[in-house]
């Protein structure tokens, strides 16, 4: 769907209401924040303010900045358009481009923080990938929205305002990649999308949010304890691709031939979104054991949204050679395994990696 005249007029009218004064854009007393836009619902548009149907990635970053009143009082803000896609179409290519661009920007003395606008569907994945590959203590904050820019009560401008406030906050330094949505600040590793449509869609179900941001007022309550940023061993400088890792969704009577099909198709690692405590149907577990013996690592995660996958529970990982994901969900387990395979981490060291990342 293309922006029609009505929706385009709506967006432009917001941007031209006088909230943004280019003359105020540079203030030497304020931090400098770069916004990297990737698309998503926050940049989406619809034919009607009350229509749930919309097209992602229709609005450019400059228009989004101009439609965020007061942001110029928080920081000197500039924007770059990295991509303009719905996050269901996010790719590893864009991840690598983002990570390398962020690392490049944060080496500059005149950049104090980064905000990334992103669709909510895969925001938890991109944030975790960046938390492992961005090599700086400076704040990196992802945000987005559940309602498009033309929707009634669109929350995108306030989410963007709050994300800039977090990125500009001295207290945000050393906290890793964060997700700021709906007044909460989440750690990239912990956050999950828990609802399909509600503006309160994001939670950190086990550890809770890191802090809050209410109309720009930033408060932190904790810092992540796993490896990220400078303590992460992963480096994607100059990297153009990552090994393929597939996710298999666990269910009753899961066919044992599915896992070998993924391996035959080119998967170099497998994550199983298991039932309960990462449990796997016997036929699939047998196929997984064969895969491990042939150098294809298999990680047991869980489709259950909260809790830990324990090592040597009903599945005796010491015997099967599988890896227990702990509290890392399937999509994030896939990311960690991809990076581990790229870094040539031996299978014997993968469990320790999952324990610490």
Q: Region 39-60: what's the mean pLDDT?
A: 77
Query: CA 266, 269, 275, 280 torsion: positive or negative?
Result: positive
The DSSP bridge partners found for residue 305 are none
Q: What is the pLDDT of residues 80-131, one digit of tens each?
A: 999 999 999 999 999 999 999 999 999 999 999 999 999 999 999 999 999 9
Active-site pick, 9, 38, 41, 212 = 41
For the chain, the domains span 5-231, 245-356
The answer, yes or no, to whether residue 19 has pLDDT greater than 70, is: no
Q: Would you state the pLDDT for residue 47?
A: 72
Quickly name the fold that domain 245-356 has: Rossmann fold (3.40.50)
Give the closest residue to 138 by CA, choosing from 177, 99, 101, 183.
177
Q: Would you state the pLDDT for residue 23?
A: 37
Please report, for residues 29, 80, 98, 117, 276, the alpha-carbon distance to residue 65 in angstroms, rounded to integers and kept in the order given.
Answer: 20, 11, 19, 11, 44
Contact yes or no for 296/271 (Cβ under 8 A): no
* DSSP label of 146: S
Q: Region 218-222: what's the mean pLDDT?
A: 97
HEC profile for 302-323?
ECCCCCCECCCCCCCHHHHCCE
Lowest pLDDT segment from 10-14, 154-158, 247-251, 255-259: 10-14
The answer, yes or no, to whether residue 21 has pLDDT greater than 80, is: no
HEC profile for 238-276?
CCCCCCCEEEEECCCCCCCCHHHHHHHHCCCEEEEEEEC
Q: Would you state the pLDDT for residue 4?
A: 45
The answer, yes or no, to whether residue 51 has pLDDT greater than 90, is: no
Distinct helix (H) and strand (E) counts, the chain: 10, 14
Is 78 an active-site residue? no
Q: Would you state the pLDDT for residue 195?
A: 97
The answer, yes or no, to whether residue 24 has pLDDT greater than 50, is: no
| Pairing mode, strands 323-324 and 298-302 | parallel
Q: Would you state the pLDDT for residue 151?
A: 79
Contact yes or no for 327/356 (Cβ under 8 A): no
Exposure b/e, 277-309, CB count within 10 A at least 16 = b: bbbbbeebbebbeebbeeebbbbbbbbbeeeeb
Contact yes or no for 120/186 (Cβ under 8 A): no
**Relative orientation angle of helices 92-106 and 123-133, to the nearest 10 degrees:** 50
Give the closest residue to 124 by CA, choosing from 156, 87, 89.
87
Contact yes or no for 292/348 (Cβ under 8 A): no
The answer, yes or no, to whether residue 192 has pLDDT greater than 60, is: yes
pTM higher than the cut 0.85: yes
H helices within the chain, ranges in order? 5-15, 61-66, 92-106, 123-133, 156-168, 258-265, 282-293, 317-320, 330-342, 350-356
Task: Determine the Cα–Cα distance for residues 128 and 179; give it in Å rounded to an integer.
Answer: 10
Q: What is the mean pLDDT of the chain?
A: 91
Q: Would you state the pLDDT for residue 5?
A: 39
Q: Region 319-335: what's the mean pLDDT?
A: 98
Q: Would you state the pLDDT for residue 18?
A: 38
Contact yes or no for 339/331 (Cβ under 8 A): no
Q: Which residue has the tokens 């890792």?
A: 245
Q: Would you state the pLDDT for residue 16?
A: 39
Q: Would you state the pLDDT for residue 7?
A: 42
| Pairing mode, strands 217-220 and 211-214 | antiparallel
Lowest pLDDT segment from 149-163, 192-206, 280-294: 149-163
Q: What is the pLDDT of residues 258-273, one digit of tens each?
A: 999 999 999 999 999 9
Q: Considering the chain, what percentage of its residues have pLDDT values greater than 70? A: 91
User: Same fold for the domain at 5-231 and the one at 245-356?
Assistant: yes
Q: Would you state the pLDDT for residue 157?
A: 95
Report the chain's terminal Cα–Cα distance, integer Å: 40
| Pairing mode, strands 177-181 and 184-187 | antiparallel
The answer, yes or no, to whether residue 53 has pLDDT greater than 70, is: no
Task: Determine the Cα–Cα distance for residues 17 and 19; give it in Å rounded to an integer.
Answer: 6
In three-state secondary structure terms, 2 is coil
Containing 202, the helix (H) or strand (E) segment is strand 202-203
The answer, yes or no, to whether residue 182 has pLDDT greater than 60, is: yes
Q: Name the class of domain 5-231.
A: alpha beta
């Amino acid at each position: 769907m293309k922006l029609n005249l009505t929706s385009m007029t709506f967006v432009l009218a917001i941007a031209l209401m006088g909230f943004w004064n280019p003359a105020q854009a540079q203030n030497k007393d304020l931090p400098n924040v770069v916004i990297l836009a990737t698309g998503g619902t926050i940049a989406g548009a619809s034919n009607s303010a009350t229509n749930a149907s919309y097209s992602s990635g229709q609005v450019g970053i400059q228009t989004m900045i101009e439609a965020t009143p007061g942001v110029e009082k928080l920081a000197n803000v500039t924007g770059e358009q990295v991509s303009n896609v719905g996050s269901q179409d996010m790719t590893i290519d864009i991840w690598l481009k983002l990570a390398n661009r962020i690392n490049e920007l944060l080496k500059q003395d005149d950049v104090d923080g980064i905000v990334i606008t992103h669709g909510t569907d895969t925001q938890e994945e991109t944030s975790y990938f960046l938390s492992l590959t961005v090599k700086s203590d400076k704040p990196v904050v992802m945000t987005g929205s559940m309602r498009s820019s033309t929707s009634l009560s669109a929350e995108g401008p306030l989410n963007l305002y709050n994300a800039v406030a977090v990125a500009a906050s001295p207290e945000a330094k050393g906290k890793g990649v964060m997700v700021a949505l709906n007044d909460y600040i989440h750690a990239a590793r912990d956050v999950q999308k828990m609802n399909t449509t509600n503006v309160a869609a994001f939670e950190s179900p086990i550890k809770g949010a890191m802090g809050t941001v209410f109309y720009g007022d930033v408060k932190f309550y904790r810092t992540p304890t796993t490896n990220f940023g400078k303590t992460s061993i992963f480096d994607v400088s100059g990297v153009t691709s990552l090994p393929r890792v597939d996710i298999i969704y666990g269910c009753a009577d899961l066919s044992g031939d599915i896992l070998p099909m993924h391996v035959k198709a080119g998967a170099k690692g497998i994550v199983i979104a298991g039932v309960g405590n990462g449990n796997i149907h016997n036929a699939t577990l047998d196929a997984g054991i064969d895969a491990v013996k042939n150098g294809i690592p298999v990680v047991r995660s869980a489709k259950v949204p909260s809790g830990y996958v324990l090592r040597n529970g009903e599945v005796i990982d010491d015997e099967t050679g599988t890896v227990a994901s702990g509290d890392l969900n399937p999509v994030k387990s896939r990311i960690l395994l991809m990076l581990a395979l790229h870094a040539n981490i031996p299978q014997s060291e993968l469990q320790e990696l999952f324990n610490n990342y």
